[in-house]
Structure 1
Amino acid sequence: MIRSADIREWRNHDVVDPKGHKIGVLEAVYVDTGTDEPAMATVRTGLPTRQRLVFVPLDEAIAGPDYVKVPYAKGEVRKAPSIDMDGVLPADGEEAIFQHYGLPYRAGANGERRLARR
């Protein structure tokens, strides 16, 4: 797993699947608001003129010298919920990301967001 202290070091590194296939480039990290630990990353994918940011969990990610390996296949990540390159994740869009990967979703005790961009 990527530690909070390492977040800035891995931006703009390739994100690869378990077979080493490049999914895209790590754009940003979202932390769990309850623990302040890295929870999700946005990955820049698509053609240079039509890029978007897809979400991928970092719960079992492994950081290498110039890549971040996630335990999800390239096809699964590319079908994940996404935002535009200059977009913002709406609060009501968080649950769909967790559902896509079959992960449990719980909003904060008072309904606050689960993810915050760092």
Structure 2
Amino acid sequence: MIQIADIREWRTHDVVDSDGHRIGTLEAVYVDTSTDDPAMATVQVGLPTRHRLVFVPLTGAILGPGYVKVDYDKALVKKCPAIGTDDVLPAEDEVAVFEHYGLPYQRGASGERQLARR
């Protein structure tokens, strides 16, 4: 399990797919609100004048020297619903991110969102 304190040190490092292809740069970590464990990361992708942030699950992620390797293919990650570099993920859009990766989505007991930025 990746500890939240550890992965914060990897901001601005490369995110690569399981084949070692560079996807983008790690921007932020989102935790599961029910467990406070790292669940997803935002990755900055795109051209220098048209950056956007896409989400990628951290399940099975491996930390290496200067990179974070995720279990998802670069093409799949880049097609994930995106937000602007200065935006936040609206609560109603969380479901689409989970569905994109075929992951179950479950709101908290009080209806709160599943992801929180740390």
Q: Same fold (TM over 0.5)?
A: yes
TM-fit CA distance, 1:110: 1.3
Normalising by structure 1, what TM-score?
Answer: 0.97
TM-fit CA distance, 1:51: 0.4
| Cα-to-partner distance string for 1:32-69 (whole Å, 9 max, x where unaligned) | 01111100000000000000000000011001010000
Tell me the equivalent position of 1:62. Answer: 62
- The secondary structure found in structure 2 opposite 1:12 is coil
- Stretches of structure 2 that go unaligned for 5 or more consecutive residues are none
Tell me the equivalent position of 1:113. Answer: 113
Normalising by structure 2, what TM-score?
Answer: 0.97
Tell me the equivalent position of 1:73. Answer: 73
TM-fit CA distance, 1:5: 2.0
Give the letter aligned to residue 13 of structure 1: H
Tell me the equivalent position of 2:35. Answer: 35
Distance 2:95 2:87 in 1: 17
- Stretches of structure 1 that go unaligned for 5 or more consecutive residues are none
- The secondary structure found in structure 1 opposite 2:42 is strand
Distance 2:96 2:3 in 1: 25
Distance 1:49 1:5 in 2: 31
- The secondary structure found in structure 2 opposite 1:6 is helix
Output the aligned Cα RMSD.
0.7
Distance 1:16 1:112 in 2: 31
